[in-house]
Amino acid sequence: MTITHQIDDFLFELFPKAKAAENSKGTLKEEMSRYYTIGPFVPSVIVKGDTIEVTLDSDLIDEQHKEYQTVVALAEKGRYNEAKQRLLPLLEKAPHISEYHRILGQIQSEEGDQDEAINSLIDALRWDPKNGYALLMMGNIFARHKKDIDTALTYYAQAAKVNPEDNITLNNIGAILVQSGRVKEGIDYLLSAKDLAPEYPNTYFALAMAEESQGSLLSAFDYAVGAIKKSKGSQLYSQSVECAIDLAGRLVAHGKGDRIVAKYTAELQQSVGTTIEVVEDDSIATAAKIEFAENYNRDRHIIRYKPSYSAVQHLIMHELVHLDLVAQARKEQKNQLFTSGPSHSTAFNKAMDKDVKRLRKEGIPEDSVMQFLSSIFNGLNLQVYNTPIDLFIEDYLYSTYKELRPYQFLSLMRIVQEGVNATTDKRIASLAPRLVLSASKVYNLVNALHLKDLYGVDYTTVFNATAKETKQAEEFIEEFEEYRYDRDAAEEYELVQHWADDLDLGDFFALVQENSFRKGKSPEDLIAEMEQDALGTDEADPYEEEQMQTFLKEHQNKDLNMAVVMYMVDALKYFGKLSKEKVKTIAHDIAMKGMYGISPEKSDYSIASIPGKTFTGYHLLAYYYVSWAIAEPAFLKELQLPFDKEYVVAQQFKQEK
């Protein structure tokens, strides 16, 4: 069969690559030859004046094409002997078909007969010197089996010349060269392949291996992350994740995290004008937390972290950025405090009434029910406050500190994994109120979506989330995107409020302007602010704060230690939720601590029976007194704590409320 085309503008419209080559007839021939090739059957393309003829051996195609496809299928399944038995008759009838020789060479190579494979591939190239796959296979045989890289490069160069826009050819050449120790040459081919097909994941994985072999672990990590992002759902995805984890672990072990932390800490100290202290603390409830100086009447901000966590430098940097965001908001007089007091706790308990009754029916002790309720109230508020702000923090770290990315990668993966466990654990799911569990799952999904965006690792499918929960998390991310690259100071608080309202959590906290909240406080008031949680989310209820300020003014000239009074009020409130036996346990734990002395000037005390809480000296002394006054009143005087008057005043305040 012969097809004749008139060479005119219309023909070049049909074959745009030739048109792009300024109507080159040579390019036109190549493009038409590729188009009219059917399997191994390459047409004859001849230019005759102002026409071009394409000749196809249609009879041969009709006779052999189906059998050729069978040969290919058998070879792909590894059934090489059967494939050869069907292929040899085709070769006898049509020895001019280059691809037949190429397939035979591939089969022979797979069977281990490299010399015969070379002979067959040479036959393929004699019939068609532009058979790119034959050229590539020749290069592979000489590189892998003959260890003759120079000869391999001769064939590779020709293969790249024949198929300059075939990224897979360039990728394979690059990978083979890297494996053969010619890393720099291999990287050149791989980079060319990446430029041609920037979404092809195998090239990124090969580049990761190449950079690792040269000791460029950070560059290798970046390429491994690229492979993760572009290999969704494939086997390469799992390999890429494992590779990135391994590289990140090695970078963290020998990396520059401490230097990054020290430099940023120094810069931030100068910016905010307050000392920043970083402290190891296994007793805290979260991986890390910041204690703002203003909330503790200290001359320094303190960042606490659990040393048992991997990549702790990321945790510290996270808290430093949180301080930075607060400083930016304060500079604009826009900072807000996340407050959560008795009125919010009451609203939460009311909302959980049905769940409380259910837990009681299941025979769970009242003390345990109330402790569980308090725990999930505080935990949920942590998520409400942290999740939106954390997105901005992690974005800043990702874009600003490239060398910190391996730390961030490992740390965020652990945080998301903990979120999965917390929301899918069967015991937790059976106990947790539906509103709390669903909201927590949405917030954790937001974190998972952000991890996926930054590093490609996808945990979203393992949360067992409902379609509604997934949609809500995706909508939160969409809203975050609106602020992501042009956030003004304190705008993150808008997301805190919006998301909480969307999840029906708005009654469980209040965002208040810091300036108005702190306005007019005396030093005693500041000392008396109650202990904060990981990110300062346990501020006092504004109404309770107003009551307390009025009470303090009435008693400020009565020779009292007002800080101790305030801490005693806190203790009475805390112990009021516990059984007498539990208070007794705490009392004896504090007494053990007291055997070594409790200094009013010291901070950072912790008690094992009050997990997740740290105390200043006066705070712990107040708890010491109150716990014994409640649980062991007969022995109170033996403590010789000079706070009898303070305790009377604290009880009076509780009664007046």
Is residue 148 domain-shared with residue 106, that is, in the same domain? yes
> Which has the higher per-residue pLDDT, 29 or 260?
260
In-domain check, residue 184: yes
What is the predicted pLDDT for the residue at 368? 84
Record the tokens describing residue 413, joined without a space.
């993966």
What is the predicted pLDDT for the residue at 539? 43
Is residue 599 domain-shared with residue 626, that is, in the same domain? yes
What is the predicted pLDDT for the residue at 439? 97
Record the tokens describing residue 372, joined without a space.
């569980």
* Position 285 pLDDT exceeds 80: no
What is the predicted pLDDT for the residue at 331? 94
Non-local CB neighbours of 455 within 8 Å, separated by 6+ positions = 225, 228, 229, 244, 409, 412, 413
Is residue 104 domain-shared with residue 187, that is, in the same domain? yes
What's the angle, vertex CA 105, arms to CA 102 and CA 107, rounded to 5?
115
Backbone phi, psi, residue 301, to 5°: -85, 140
Is residue 383 domain-shared with residue 469, that is, in the same domain? yes
Least reliable range by pLDDT among 241-255, 327-341, 365-379, 462-476: 365-379
What is the predicted pLDDT for the residue at 657? 56
For 553-595, how does the pLDDT look when each residue is reduced to its tens digit (9 = 90+)?
555 555 788 888 889 998 999 999 899 999 999 999 898 888 7
In-domain check, residue 194: yes
Q: Which of 335, 330, 296 is nearest to 533 (CA)?
A: 296
* Position 546 pLDDT exceeds 60: no
Is residue 403 domain-shared with residue 387, that is, in the same domain? yes
* Portion of the chain with pLDDT greater than 90, in percent: 56
Is residue 287 domain-shared with residue 352, that is, in the same domain? no
* Structural domain of 215: 99-238
Is residue 290 domain-shared with residue 350, that is, in the same domain? no
Please check whether residue 308 is in contact with residue 337, taking contact to mean a CB–CB distance below 8 angstroms: no
* Position 544 pLDDT exceeds 60: no
* Position 336 pLDDT exceeds 50: yes
For 223-241, how does the pLDDT look when each residue is reduced to its tens digit (9 = 90+)?
999 999 999 878 899 999 9
> Which has the higher per-residue pLDDT, 612 or 522?
612
Is residue 350 domain-shared with residue 324, that is, in the same domain? no
* Position 333 pLDDT exceeds 60: yes
**Looking at residues 40-46, what average pLDDT do you find?**
82
Is residue 117 domain-shared with residue 215, that is, in the same domain? yes
Question: What b/e readout covers 134-149, taking b as 16+ CB neighbours within 10 angstroms?
Answer: bbbbbbbbbbeeeeeb
In-domain check, residue 81: no
In-domain check, residue 531: no
* DSSP state at residue 145: I
Record the tokens describing residue 619, joined without a space.
């705070």
What is the predicted pLDDT for the residue at 529? 46
What is the predicted pLDDT for the residue at 429? 86
Residue 503 confidence class, pLDDT cut points 50, 70, 90: very high
* Position 535 pLDDT exceeds 80: no
Beta strands in 160-292 (DSSP E): 275-280, 288-291
Q: Which of 132-141, 403-412, 564-573 has the highest mean pLDDT?
A: 403-412
Compute the Cα dihedral for 188, 192, 193, 194 and give only its sign: positive
Record the tokens describing residue 351, joined without a space.
């909302």
Is residue 549 domain-shared with residue 466, that is, in the same domain? no
Record the tokens describing residue 530, joined without a space.
């109650």
- Element containing residue 221 per DSSP (H, E): helix 217-230
State the pTM of this model: 0.71
Total domain count, the chain: 5
Least reliable range by pLDDT among 138-152, 429-443, 593-607: 593-607
In angstroms, the first-to-last Cα distance of the chain is 101
In-domain check, residue 431: yes
For 213-223, how does the pLDDT look when each residue is reduced to its tens digit (9 = 90+)?
999 999 999 99
* Position 534 pLDDT exceeds 60: no
Record the tokens describing residue 58, joined without a space.
């249609």
For 509-531, how does the pLDDT look when each residue is reduced to its tens digit (9 = 90+)?
999 998 877 664 543 444 444 33
- Element containing residue 57 per DSSP (H, E): none
What is the predicted pLDDT for the residue at 25? 84
* Position 532 pLDDT exceeds 80: no
Is residue 377 domain-shared with residue 423, that is, in the same domain? yes
What is the predicted pLDDT for the residue at 128? 86
Q: Which of 334, 342, 616, 628 is nearest to 489 (CA)?
A: 334
In-domain check, residue 92: no
For 525-580, the DSSP string reads HHHTSPPP-TTS--BPPHHHHHHHHHHHHHHTTSS--HHHHHHHHHHHHHHTTS-H
For 180-216, how does the pLDDT look when each residue is reduced to its tens digit (9 = 90+)?
889 999 999 999 999 999 999 999 999 999 999 999 9
Compute the Cα dihedral for 582, 588, 591, 596 and give only its sign: negative
d(CA 52, CA 88): 34
Give, to the nearest 10 degrees, the angle between helix 342-351 and helix 366-400: 110
Please check whether residue 631 is in contact with residue 580, taking contact to mean a CB–CB distance below 8 angstroms: yes
Which residues does residue 38 pair with via DSSP β-bridges, in sequence order? 41
Residue 533 confidence class, pLDDT cut points 50, 70, 90: very low
Is residue 279 domain-shared with residue 302, that is, in the same domain? yes
Least reliable range by pLDDT among 163-172, 206-215, 368-377, 590-599: 590-599
Average pLDDT, the chain: 88
Instruction: Determine whether 491 is exposed, middle or buried from the number of CB atoms within 10 Å of its CB (0-12, 13-18, 19+).
Output: middle
Beta strands in 288-339 (DSSP E): 288-291, 300-305, 336-339
Residue 342 confidence class, pLDDT cut points 50, 70, 90: confident
Domain boundary among the residues 279, 299, 331 is at 331
In-domain check, residue 422: yes
Domain boundary among the residues 284, 313, 331 is at 331
Q: What is the 3-state secondary structure (H, E, C) of 199-220?
A: CCHHHHHHHHHHHHHCCCHHHH
Residue 26 confidence class, pLDDT cut points 50, 70, 90: confident
**Looking at residues 111-120, what average pLDDT do you find?**
95
* Position 538 pLDDT exceeds 70: no
**Looking at residues 409-419, what average pLDDT do you find?**
96
In-domain check, residue 423: yes
> What amino acid is encoded at 460 in this protein?
T
* Position 106 pLDDT exceeds 50: yes
Domain boundary among the residues 238, 271, 289 is at 238
